[in-house]
């Protein structure tokens, strides 16, 4: 794994010199094990029923790890992407009934004809273990822009035939206030989208039937939602999103609600210029947790496995800018949640830009490393109990 284990040992302290791979944390000591190396800009990790692992490279490639080894050849059949700025091939998501229908879903930044603009789109196709076929686009966001940032692209299934997708605000001028497209129901910018699994619109979406709203919208007022997870027992949807300079958020997402960007928030523009009217406003939701300074909140997970029993039910999220994994607990207080515990320092402080946090079918925790600055870190690693 080259430098990564040594980096952990140096900055975190170890149980003993003879076990330099063991990392201490509040509830569980763990070790970091290399899974796959040599990937370019890995963005998303997903598991097939066989145990094989799919990984997207933002460059446009879909890769597979079979029996612990990365296949050297990309999987053919992926869509053309606009690999620029924060765009590229984003999430990979197998259908819940993949074993029967072989369907996988891909979100990506879709280019226009000359590549000068891009938007967020979703395709699905059949994966036979070697290649994608019958690839069809099922959603294209009304979020076209020449800008490079904030495509978002996180997806999940809710177990009831619905597909959720995040779409960022595409870097639109934050000083637009209430005129910002994230506040407009006639744009997909800055939204959480809810679709049927074929891309059609569920009849019970909150804005269906309104002439002044796009029917795919589930919630709005988001900046750059980079994490999405559902508590499958309660059906509650949680999201993380980037603030500007400060103001990253963890939100409980509810249908039809406005999450405030850029009218309210806890950050400032890069350089320190104020953006928001206030921190709170009637009709706009407050985050469950916010971070100042920003941590670059990314992949989001609720741990449900048995390998780390003291972590069961806890929320984990990756941090790009802060280069760590945050762990927290949520406690219900009446109709709202309260963050009951936030481990400090976070797990793996200063280790790497953590793009994805995912629980594997084996109950271990997998991290995708966005090693943008180089340095030889392994692309995908696994956390195992020490």
β-pair type (53-57, 62-66)? antiparallel
**pLDDT value of position 108:** 98
Contact 8, 40 (CB under 8 A): no
Mean pLDDT of 34-62: 96
Contact 330, 276 (CB under 8 A): no
- Taking residue 361's Cβ as centre, other Cβ atoms within 10 Å add up to 12
Q: Does the pLDDT at position 354 exceed 60? A: yes
Contact 90, 109 (CB under 8 A): yes
The single residue of 28, 95, 150, 222 carrying the catalytic annotation is 150
Which stretch of DSSP H or E encloses residue 329? strand 324-333
Provide, rounded to the nearest whole percent, the portion of the chain with pLDDT above 90. 89
CB neighbour burial string for 194-221, b if at least 16 within 10 angstroms, e if fewer: bbebebebbeebbbeeeeebbbbbbbbb
Q: Does the pLDDT at position 13 exceed 90? A: no
**pLDDT value of position 371:** 76
Q: How buried is 324 (Cβ within 10 angstroms: 0-12 exposed, 13-18 middle, 19+ buried)?
A: buried
Q: Does the pLDDT at position 14 exceed 50? A: no
pTM, full prediction: 0.94
Per-residue model confidence as pLDDT tens digits over 146-172: 999 999 999 999 999 999 999 999 999
Q: What is the 3-state secondary structure (H, E, C) of 277-325?
A: CECCCCCCCCCCEEECCCCCEEEEEECCCCCCHHHCCCEEEEECCCCEE
Per-residue model confidence as pLDDT tens digits over 325-349: 999 999 988 878 889 889 999 999 9
Provide, rounded to the nearest whole percent, the portion of the chain with pLDDT above 70. 94
Q: Does the pLDDT at position 19 exceed 70? A: no
With the C-alpha atoms ordered 276, 175, 285, 324, is the resulting torsion angle positive or negative? negative
Per-residue model confidence as pLDDT tens digits over 82-99: 999 999 999 999 999 999
Nearest to 117 by CA among 80, 140, 145: 145
**What would you measure as the largest C-alpha separation in the chain, in angstroms?**
67
Distance CA 122, CA 109 (A): 9
Alpha helix (H) residue ranges in the chain: 4-12, 98-101
Per-residue model confidence as pLDDT tens digits over 106-124: 999 999 999 999 999 999 9
Mean pLDDT of 50-71: 96
28 is catalytic: no
Per-residue model confidence as pLDDT tens digits over 232-267: 999 999 999 999 999 999 999 999 999 999 999 999
Distance CA 153, CA 4 (A): 28
Q: Mean pLDDT, the chain, as a whole number?
A: 93
Q: What's the pLDDT band for 20 if we cut at 50, 70, 90?
A: very low
Distance CA 180, CA 32 (A): 43
Mean pLDDT of 66-73: 94
The partner residues of 133 in beta bridges, in order of sequence, read 126
Backbone angles phi and psi of 287, in degrees to 5:
-70, 155
């Amino acid at each position: 794994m080259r430098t990564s284990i040594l980096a952990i040992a140096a900055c975190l302290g170890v149980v003993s010199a003879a076990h330099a791979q063991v990392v201490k944390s509040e509830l569980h000591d763990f070790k970091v094990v290399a899974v796959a190396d040599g990937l370019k800009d890995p963005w998303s990790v997903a598991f097939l029923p066989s145990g094989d692992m799919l990984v997207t490279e933002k460059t446009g490639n879909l890769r597979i790890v079979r029996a612990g080894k990365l296949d050297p050849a990309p999987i053919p059949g992926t869509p053309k992407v606009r690999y620029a700025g924060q765009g590229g091939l984003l999430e990979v998501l197998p259908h819940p009934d993949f074993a029967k229908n072989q369907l996988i879903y891909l979100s990506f930044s879709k280019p226009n004809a000359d590549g000068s603009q891009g938007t967020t789109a979703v395709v699905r196709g059949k994966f036979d273990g070697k290649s994608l076929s019958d690839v069809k686009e099922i959603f294209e966001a009304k979020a076209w822009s020449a800008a490079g940032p904030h495509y978002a692209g996180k997806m999940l299934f809710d177990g009831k035939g619905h597909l959720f997708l995040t779409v960022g605000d595409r870097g639109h001028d934050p000083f637009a206030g209430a005129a910002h497209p994230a506040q407009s129901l006639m744009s997909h910018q800055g939204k959480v989208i809810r679709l049927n699994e074929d891309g059609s619109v569920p009849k019970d979406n909150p804005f269906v039937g309104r002439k002044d709203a796009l029917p795919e919208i589930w919630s709005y007022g988001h900046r750059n939602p980079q994490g999405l997870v559902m508590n499958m027992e309660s059906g509650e949807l949680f999201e993380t999103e980037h603030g500007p300079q400060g103001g990253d958020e963890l939100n409980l997402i509810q249908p039809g609600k406005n999450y405030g960007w850029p009218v309210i928030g806890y950050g400032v523009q890069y350089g320190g210029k104020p953006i928001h009217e206030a921190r709170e406003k009637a009709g706009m939701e407050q985050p469950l947790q916010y971070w100042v300074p920003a941590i670059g909140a990314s992949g989001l997970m609720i741990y449900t496995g048995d390998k780390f029993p003291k972590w069961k039910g806890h929320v984990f999220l990756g941090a790009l800018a802060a280069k760590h994994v945050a762990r927290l607990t949520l406690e219900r207080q009446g109709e709202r949640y309260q963050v009951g515990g936030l481990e400090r320092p976070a797990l793996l402080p200063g280790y790497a830009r953590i793009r994805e946090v995912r629980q594997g079918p084996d109950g271990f925790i997998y991290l995708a490393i966005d090693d943008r600055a180089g340095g030889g870190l392994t692309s995908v690693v696994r956390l195992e109990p020490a």
